[in-house]
Structure 1
Amino acid sequence: MTRSARSALLALALLPATALSPILSIPAEAAAPQVRTQAPGFYRMMLGRTEITALLDGTHPFPIHEVVNGIGTASADALLERSSLAPPVEGSINAFLVNTGDRLVLIDSGAGVLYGADGGHLMANLRAAGYAPEQVDEIYLTHLHRDHVGGVDRSGSMAFPNAVIRVSRRDSDYWLDPANKATAPGFLGPMFDGAAASLKPYVAAGRLAPFDGETQLLPEIRAIPGPGHTPGHTIYQVRSDGQTLLAWGDIVHVAAIQFPYPAATLKYDSDEPDARRERERLFAEAARNGYWIAAAHISFPGLGHIRRDDQGYHWLPANYTTVMVPAAP
């Protein structure tokens, strides 16, 4: 600082408060209204030479004590507190766009209008990410619950007019059969209705193509059965240049509880013991092999890894990256 600048600051400091009052009373130009909206919900990463774009459909308050089974209220609250959370937990509804270079595949589609204001943002985020719904070639659904299938519908027409929908035949046979709705628990009724309404235009256009069991859908993507949450719940394994990502649907609903305590199940699981076994199997496999995970209900973008230690499993969120070039082989 120059001698003249120091002298000016000293003179200002010695002025009486009354002399400064005109300066201090100048209105603040920064008094702008708060925006109170979030940034566009997309996040991109490269898996080898395959581009993965996470898309947020919305967030939904998850009533932990009403829907999580297999763990006491006090224990659940203690695990949530470790993550500075309390019920209800705001859960993300994520979908994942996979660009292999010659095919554009959407894995799950969010809730669309079926969750009211909590969902329905996937299409805007898809466009913000630089894509159009007309570019999507195929849609792979992990299962047919409302928050995964609802986004394919646009007021009774196909939201993705050029796409073919792939889903396990076990799930389509179950959720699209009215006879199953009649014998299922009442709280599952909206799931049957949502699946039937959302898929109706695709069925009419011959664009619903179920598959059976473990199936290679594309050279980079394999469907692997993961039943328990629903009869035909499916994991999609994406592989590129030696890297592997598992888009695992609803293996986890509440990360703060189910990673340290995988035995916690969900009221909406079709078969809770099977859902628990599948979760424990996938946790061990993903931790052992260092797989990437794309999770439907872990905080957006839902991309990360799993680590195992003496205290159980831990979620390691993806480190933020701006590097969009293919990984070295």
Structure 2
Amino acid sequence: MAVRSFMLLTLVLGLFATGSVFAAEPFSPGITQQRQGVDTYAFKIGDVRVTALSDGSVPQDLHKLLHGISDDEIDSRLAYAYQTNPVEVSINAFLLEIGDRLALVDTGSGELFGPGFGGNLIDSLHSAGFKADDVTDVLLTHVHSDHMGGLTREGQMVFRNATVHVGKPDMDFFLDRKNAERSGYDMHYFNQAIQIMTPYVDAGKIDAFDKSTEILPGVTAALHPGHTPGSAFFRLESKGQSVTFIGDIIHVAAVQLPDPSVTIAYDVDPDKAIAVRSKAFSTFARQSELVAVPHMPFPGVGHIRKAREGYDWVPINYGNRDSR
């Protein structure tokens, strides 16, 4: 397995899903990215208020990341989606208000990418009316830098009152440096995991699950290994409504929705990642399941729909009013 580069740590997603025809000429929008500041978007699933929180965004070079597809085809698919390489990628987290519990799905990149590249989660959390000490549970979709990096700051726990729920296979894999040599996966991932997760391990704050289980009222965790050994979905159900937080089974919507066989450099097991992605896309499209995705354009919530070629993305309908 090729060694991953430190500069390419954040997983990639295209900004919009596409149909089945791709433009031949690259599209150059000439748009300069601007800092938006804090950003939140809230909606209800039954009795549960869910708030998407922006950690920021980062640029990603898909030519260096994607496998199983040529650069020309990448550019063609991006052009059809009115994008160019490198693409600007959102880092999204999600807050769940469940009775007296406040659960955070993923924590963004924290300090790991440096100033200007993510690290805005706490500001967005404050904008939503909460502080880090209010969080009772952190649900990690997997142990990668842009999902668990926000757990600590300067070596100290950020969410001091929270239990961290995470797939046990990820803890077993990433907290043992010997697995870097065994797997060929870059040692940097193991060093970061140990750095970020150890304060919570030492404090007895880790709930590592190894099977499908209800970890909070109405929230079920299920393992879907491939991208990482302990990658997990979290499905929230309330009053007949549901949303599934799917982690990084998809990284580049404009490319992988039409062709789920395209993998990314960050997949620990690319073949399993393809299988998980293909099955999940089919299931979500058939069941019309609402999904929340870490790297779709903010807020990263919508539906995966069957298309003539593969699948496409339908973002959640925007609303901005008091709803009784």
TM-score, L = length of structure 1: 0.85
Task: Tell me the secondary structure at the aligned position of residue 123 of structure 1.
Answer: helix
Q: Percent same amino acid among aligned pairs?
A: 40
**Structure 2 residue 119 is the aligned partner of structure 1 residue 124:** no
Q: 2:197 is aligned with what amino acid?
A: L
State the shift of 1:325 in Å.
4.0
Q: Could you tell me which residue of structure 2 aligns to residue 136 of structure 1?
A: 135
Deviations 1:88-141 (A, max 9, x none): 111111111111122110011011011112111101110011111111001010
Instruction: Give the conservation status (yes or no) of the 8 Å contact 2:177–2:187.
Output: no
Q: 1:132 is aligned with what amino acid?
A: K
Instruction: Give the conservation status (yes or no) of the 8 Å contact 2:210–2:223.
Output: no
Task: Tell me the secondary structure at the aligned position of residue 94 of structure 1.
Answer: strand
Instruction: Give the conservation status (yes or no) of the 8 Å contact 2:141–2:232.
Output: yes
Query: Among 288, 307, 310, which residue is 1:309 paired with?
Result: 307
Q: Could you tell me which residue of structure 1 aligns to residue 78 of structure 2?
A: 80
Instruction: Give the conservation status (yes or no) of the 8 Å contact 1:56–1:122.
Output: yes
State the shift of 1:216 in Å.
1.1
Gaps of 5+ in 1: 1-35
Task: Tell me the secondary structure at the aligned position of residue 262 of structure 1.
Answer: coil
State the shift of 1:184 in Å.
3.7
Q: 1:37 is aligned with what amino acid?
A: R
Task: Tell me the secondary structure at the aligned position of residue 111 of structure 2.
Answer: helix
Q: Could you tell me which residue of structure 2 aligns to residue 33 of structure 1?
A: none
Q: 2:149 is aligned with what amino acid?
A: G
Structure 2 CA distance for aligned equivalents of residues 198 and 263 of structure 1 = 32
Task: Tell me the secondary structure at the aligned position of residue 75 of structure 2.
Answer: helix
Gaps of 5+ in 2: 1-33
Higher radius of gyration, 1 or 2? 1
CA-atom RMSD in angstroms: 1.3
**Structure 2 residue 108 is the aligned partner of structure 1 residue 106:** no
In terms of fraction of residues, the more helix-rich structure is 1
**Structure 2 residue 170 is the aligned partner of structure 1 residue 145:** no
Structure 1 CA distance for aligned equivalents of residues 158 and 70 of structure 2 = 41
Task: Tell me the secondary structure at the aligned position of residue 113 of structure 1.
Answer: coil
State the shift of 1:181 in Å.
2.5
Q: Could you tell me which residue of structure 2 aligns to residue 272 of structure 1?
A: 270
Q: Could you tell me which residue of structure 1 aligns to residue 39 of structure 2?
A: 41
Q: Could you tell me which residue of structure 1 aligns to residue 288 of structure 2?
A: 290
Matches within 5 A, 1:183-222: 183-185=182-184, 188-222=186-220
Q: Could you tell me which residue of structure 1 aligns to residue 158 of structure 2?
A: 159
Structure 2 CA distance for aligned equivalents of residues 37 and 175 of structure 1 = 33
TM-score, L = length of structure 2: 0.87
Structure 2 CA distance for aligned equivalents of residues 76 and 184 of structure 1 = 28
Deviations 1:256-285 (A, max 9, x none): 111111111111101111101111111111
- Residues 241 and 324 (structure 1 numbering): CA distance in 2 closer, same or farther, change over 3 Å? farther
Q: Could you tell me which residue of structure 1 aligns to residue 168 of structure 2?
A: 169
State the shift of 1:312 in Å.
2.2
Task: Tell me the secondary structure at the aligned position of residue 112 of structure 2.
Answer: helix
Q: Could you tell me which residue of structure 1 aligns to residue 91 of structure 2?
A: 93
